[in-house]
Amino acid sequence: MKKGLLILFCFILLYSCGSSKKIYKKEIEIIRIKNDHLKLEINKLKAIIDSITVLENNIPIIDTFSTINPNTEVFKEINSEVIMIEVKVGERISDFVKRLENKKLTSKEALIVLINKGVFNDKYNFIPAHVNGLLRFEGLIKPGIYNLTISKNDNKHSKNEINAISIFNVLLDKSSERFNDREKIRGLTKYELITMASIIEKEDAFDTHAGIIASVFWNRNANNGRFGSCVTVEYLLGYHRPFLLFEDLDKVSNSSWSTYHHKGLPPTPICFVSDETINETINAKETDYYFFVMDWVKKIPYMAVKYEKHCDNAQIAKQSVIDVYGSSIIHQKMENYYYDYFSTINLNK
């Protein structure tokens, strides 16, 4: 006790003496700043812990989102790692999220809860509100390779929430560059343009004829007609056929995404779109073409102005496939392919 009082007395004496007073006052200020910084970091961690609420189905929701930034240094230092993830051109949001789930990075359920609560909408005003769940992100993410900081938290539910916020903050930050300019392009908003470009992305299965294919959809859009795109039907079906059947079309007749049954663009994009396809869509030259059909073997679209010519072209395209693969493949159902079967197989086999 006496020793403690002696130390305190010496400290007060030194502090009260001229230049020494200034030195110790400076040291005290440094200590105070460091202490405040430590308190701030501790409070951030508390916010993460306190904001997790477990629902009846055991899925946690982070409620105090305004106090959490999973990209801060605090987050990075605590049981986390940096990984690389590719967002693929032509991929659906559901397929991308499934890949995240397979890597055990997050869950579809956790992401949907966050999206429906509007967690991302305040920061990213280009996210649509006319749909719910994963559809709000359909086509919005810019393809590419991303370095992402992810949590290695042992608690699966809190990890799913934190990772979903961290991952999609990075992806949406990059994607927001596409929406900096709010001016309409050829009469379409940026969201509508990306929706049209997503159709062209899938229709141009071999990435060679986006511009001329785009000209067809610009013509149909100008006439306020049906886009009549097979890829919008396959988006709903979840499988591919080289040539769709009427029974396939009937299955999706009630959906707004079926451009065979409803005029104009679908409510959302149907896949992630490359910058190249967006530019090809914007800069597509004017043509009189109103129809086209893809030759899956020669990898070219046959263009037509009149429907009668289009029907002739369709027969040529079918025969081209039959000559190489046989007639049984024409209407074969190819599960888990999304208009990309012939662009992924080896034709030399």
Q: What is the pLDDT of residues 245-267, one digit of tens each?
A: 999 999 999 999 999 999 999 99
Provide mean pLDDT across the span 21-45.
Answer: 44
195 and 332 assigned to the same domain:
yes
pLDDT at 102 over 50: yes
Nearest alpha carbon to residue 230 among 291, 313, 165, 147: 291
Query: Is the pLDDT score of 2 beyond 90?
Result: no
Please identify, among 179, 198, 225, the residue that sits at the C-terminal boundary of a domain: 179
Q: Tell me the C-alpha distance between 238 and 236, whole Å.
A: 6
If one counts the domains in the chain, the total is: 2
With CA atoms as reference, report the closest residue to 233 among 278, 279, 270, 276: 270
Instruction: Look at residues 101, 44, 37 and name the one whose alpha carbon lies nearest to residue 78.
Output: 44
Tokens of 12: 């007060």
170 plus 306 within the same structural domain: no
Same domain assignment for residues 218 and 322: yes
Distances (CA, A) of 265 to 10, 183, 197: 80, 19, 11
Question: Is the residue at 296 inside a domain?
Answer: yes
Asked, for residue 115, whether it belongs to a domain, the answer is: yes
Reference 49, options 78, 18, 20; nearest CA is: 78
One domain for residues 159 and 218:
no
* DSSP for 220-247, written as a single string: HHHTT-B---HHHHHHHHSEE-SS--HH
**211 and 269 inside one domain:** yes
pTM score of the predicted model: 0.76
Q: What is the pLDDT, as a whole number, of residue 181?
A: 83
Q: Is residue 33 part of a domain?
A: no
Instruction: Output the pLDDT for position 336.
Output: 83
Which of 7-11, 54-58, 202-206, 234-238 is predicted with the least confidence, judged by mean pLDDT?
A: 54-58
Confirm if 332 and 345 have CB atoms less than 8 A apart: no
Q: How far apart are CA 64 and CA 246, in angstroms?
A: 50
Residues 209 and 338 grouped into a single domain: yes
Please state whether 207 falls in left (phi above 0), alpha (psi between -120 and 50) or beta.
Answer: left
Q: Does residue 18 lie within any of the structural domains?
A: no
Q: What domain range includes position 247?
A: 190-344
Which two tokens mark 189?
Answer: 């908003």
Task: Answer yes or no: do 94 and 205 share one domain.
Answer: no
Compute the distance between CA of residue 299 and CA of residue 240 in angstroms, rounded to an integer: 17
pLDDT band at 29 (very low <50, low <70, confident <90, very high): very low
302 and 221 in one domain?
yes
pLDDT (mean) for 179-203: 95
* Average predicted confidence (pLDDT) for the chain: 81
26 has pLDDT over 60? no
Two tokens at 191?
A: 């969201």
